[in-house]
Structure 1
Amino acid sequence: MTQDTTTLVSFLGRARQDPKTGYRMARYCFEDGTTQDTPFFGLGLLKAIRPNRLVLLGTAGSMWDVLIEQFAAEGEEEELRLGLIEAASEGRVDAPLLAAVTPLVERALGVPCLLRLIDYGRDAEGQARILETIADAVPNGRVCIDLTHGFRHLAAIGSLSAFFLERVRGLNVAGIYYGALDMTDPKQGGTPVVRLDGLMTIERWLDALSRFDQNGDYALFAPLLERDGVPADKVRCLVEAAFFERSLNLADARRRILTFLPVLDTPLNGVSALFQTALAERLAWVREAGLMDYQRRLARFYLRQGDYVRAAILGFEAVITRECDRRKYGHQDHQQDRKPAEDAFEAEIRAKEHPRTVADGYWMLKNLRNALAHGNPSKSDDVRQIIANPQRLPVELDKAMQRVLS
């Protein structure tokens, strides 16, 4: 199976609405105007999207017998079919029996098929086993999922499986389909086929927000916004802001975010509109913050994430930026602005022009920053002990920043 292979995953329930077909016959209407007349939506979807293979999932009590009877010619594999009918009626269909009838299904449908039993999903462990079965059945490539049939709770599990396959297995979920029999037009008789791909986009947004809150990567939102029509040049601002922030070029990072922010002043399209407020709230600080506030905010963020090297570097740089502002120096030139501001502040500390707590906080922050950033053992026994202690390091780093940056 290659990355270009498309697999359709469909569920089989145990409905007995029709003695011959199980499910009620329906005319399923697709977006492109085509229709498929079938009692089992998965078969109509198979003809509509023409995947390379079919994975059919059902429990030991699903109506495997009714489905197989639609495919078998008169007298074909009669003993096997009778065994399947008996097993299905007693809820004891097993894997060997499904393997035996698989060639019959493949001959009828003309595509490779995989018939698999799934758990009833009565508890968390059973539901996890369903996800595992789906993942094992679709190791790579593209996947389309049909949520129409099966127990009602299987639709929720099937939807979750789409996100699981995409996020954990790296598959491309090409579509989530639902044959909405309850929405059948009483006059025309057509049953709409509903695309539930928007659920995947919502999951992607939720995942992006969660990951952003953990790592601060603005680029996570770029593909989601671009998919909903945000201009590429505006989306690129977020990607570049993430790059500049990671390389500690905060001035350019802030400029890129400020260039992007007007996008959020007008309503977004698609699913992005649902998350517009949440995104705006996470970026609003840029409009008010100067460089020192930006550095201090990031230092606090990295401290919470356990990235002590970045926390110490940015915390120290926030102090120097503040001292540049006090003296009306520029921010960017190290030799002409930042180093003179650092030297002047240290001279004030030595002259006891600042409280002892500020002085202690500054020297601790500077020593921690030098030891962490350069990777060399500090000359101070206390600093070496702090860096070697996973409990003390975040506490002392936090205390130092509070003392000198309050």
Structure 2
Amino acid sequence: MLGKASSNYRQATYEFEDKSRRTSRFFGLELCKQVSPDELVILGTTGSMWDNLLLETELSEHADLEEELLKLGEAAQNDQVTQETLNQLAAHLQGVLGIPCVLKLIPYGRNYEEQTKTLEILVNCFNHKDTAILDVTHGLRHLPMLVQQSALVLQSLKEVTISGIHYGALELTSDNITPVMQLGGLLELDRWNQALAIYDESGDYGSFVPLLEQSGFSKNALDSLRDASFYEQTNSVQKAQVKLKNFLTLLKKEEEVCSPHAALFLPALKQRFSWVEKNQPHQRQSAVAWQALENDNLLRATLYGFEAFITKLAEEYPNGLESYNVRSQAKGDYEKEQPSDSWNEYLMLRGIRNNLAHSSSQSHESVKKALANRTSLSLALRRAFKVLIPN
């Protein structure tokens, strides 16, 4: 990023993580030398100090470019730099630096449309599965936020790997040395946010595994979490409960050595897994069903809601949670009894479940009505859940 033309940037000696030092007015040029990229992309506005940037390179020694650079400086002062001019100078800069260079205009980001356009321009600078190194040192003060957002979009839309976000912290200069800060940890925080959102929507623990692995947790802990996820998805709630308890025990032992980012999110993780302390397994299935219903995942809500009610019935029988025959017996006994306080809601939930599970169109009229659209199905499930598996 390149800031608006007013006065030139102050020269600074930047110190990188490996303790090497480079001196320049433009951090991006020194970062380029440090990391040796395949391509350099510089984004700025029609009023950015393009002339000062180019004068910092060996282009200033080209007498034949002197007039062009003077015109560029005048255009920057008048907020009139054109993309055509930048394209011509990019070719000269490529000759100096020895790598492909892209100089590209972006809007000022004064409103939502301009901010989105900047994101679009930045994203289009990369190909699918590229590796990106980002620099947020210079530019208008709101642009680093846009760069961070672009990093998230790059990962989502183009599977671009962000290997670093760098900031030359001039305000932290001490003894004439300016430290270079790595801000890539912000992306890990976002990955945790995404994992929590995925879990809240789907109930699947799988999104936490790579983050916990990266944070230093043991294979035993991760395998327990993977197994818990498998058993819950295959409707073996008791086995899932055992595995998740084992994971939480290991988590308690290992959390002292985990990454700071993981430590920040572990309380939220534990809170979401607190169901393992409940004595009645149907409560977990009920929680998943309600969670799916709130997130409009109506197929998952239906399947888990129906199974939660059968599990609730089977809990009254010896070995009812482990035996298919006993579960079938509990269901059969309930259907023979047909309790008046829940029978209509049960028929509705069973009819919806059978229709969705078997793609059957042979349903009672009330079930067909419930399946007519998203709103009616959601309301029908909510009414059934309140009676059969209240949360």
1:399 deviation in Å? 1.6
1:147 deviation in Å? 0.5
**Distance verdict in 2 for CA 1:91–1:372, change over 3 Å:** same
For the 8 Å contact 1:180–1:194, the answer to whether it is kept is: yes
For the 8 Å contact 2:221–2:251, the answer to whether it is kept is: no
- One-letter amino acid of the structure 2 residue matched with residue 180 of structure 1: A
Give yes or no for the alignment of 1:326 onto 2:316.
yes
Q: State the match for 1:53 in structure 2.
A: 39
**Distance verdict in 2 for CA 1:392–1:42, change over 3 Å:** same
1:256 deviation in Å? 2.7
**Distance verdict in 2 for CA 1:212–1:327, change over 3 Å:** closer
Give yes or no for the alignment of 1:398 onto 2:390.
no
Q: How does 1:114-129 map to 2 (within 5 A)?
A: 114-129=102-117
Q: State the match for 1:149 in structure 2.
A: 138
Structure 1 unaligned residues grouped into runs of 5+: 1-10
Q: How big is the alpha-carbon RMSD for the aligned residues of Structure 1 and Structure 2?
A: 1.9
Alpha-carbon distance in 2 for matches of 1:405, 1:98: 65
Q: State the match for 1:38 in structure 2.
A: 24
Alpha-carbon distance in 2 for matches of 1:379, 1:40: 71
Which residue of 137, 152, 155 corresponds with 1:163?
152
Q: State the match for 1:357 in structure 2.
A: 341
Q: State the match for 2:168 in structure 1.
A: 179
Q: Which moved more, 1:82-91 or 1:270-279?
A: 82-91
Q: Which moved more, 1:277-286 or 1:255-264?
A: 255-264
Q: State the match for 1:247 in structure 2.
A: 234
Q: Which moved more, 1:161-170 or 1:275-284?
A: 161-170
| Number of equivalenced pairs | 384
Alpha-carbon distance in 2 for matches of 1:40, 1:309: 55
Give yes or no for the alignment of 1:206 onto 2:193.
yes
**Distance verdict in 2 for CA 1:26–1:365, change over 3 Å:** same
1:238 deviation in Å? 2.9
- One-letter amino acid of the structure 1 residue matched with residue 43 of structure 2: L
| SS of 1:329 mapped into structure 2 | coil
| SS of 2:48 mapped into structure 1 | coil
| SS of 1:27 mapped into structure 2 | strand
1:367 deviation in Å? 2.2
Q: State the match for 2:278 in structure 1.
A: 288
Question: Could you give the per-residue CA deviations for residues 310-357 of structure 1, whole angstroms, max 9, x where no partner exists?
Answer: 32222222222222222323312212x1111122222222xxxx3x12
1:15 deviation in Å? 5.7
| SS of 1:290 mapped into structure 2 | coil
| SS of 2:14 mapped into structure 1 | strand
Q: Matched residues, percent identical?
A: 35
| SS of 1:362 mapped into structure 2 | helix
| SS of 1:236 mapped into structure 2 | helix
For the 8 Å contact 2:5–2:77, the answer to whether it is kept is: no
Alpha-carbon distance in 1 for matches of 2:193, 2:179: 28
Runs of 4+ displaced beyond 4 Å: none
1:379 deviation in Å? 4.3
Q: How does 1:4-403 map to 2 (within 5 A)?
A: 11-14=1-4, 17=7, 22-70=8-56, 71-72=58-59, 73-140=61-128, 141-186=130-175, 189-265=176-252, 266-267=255-256, 268-335=258-325, 337-349=326-338, 354=339, 356-403=340-387
Q: TM-score, normalised by structure 1?
A: 0.89
For the 8 Å contact 1:264–1:280, the answer to whether it is kept is: no
| SS of 1:394 mapped into structure 2 | helix
1:240 deviation in Å? 3.6
Structure 2 unaligned residues grouped into runs of 5+: none
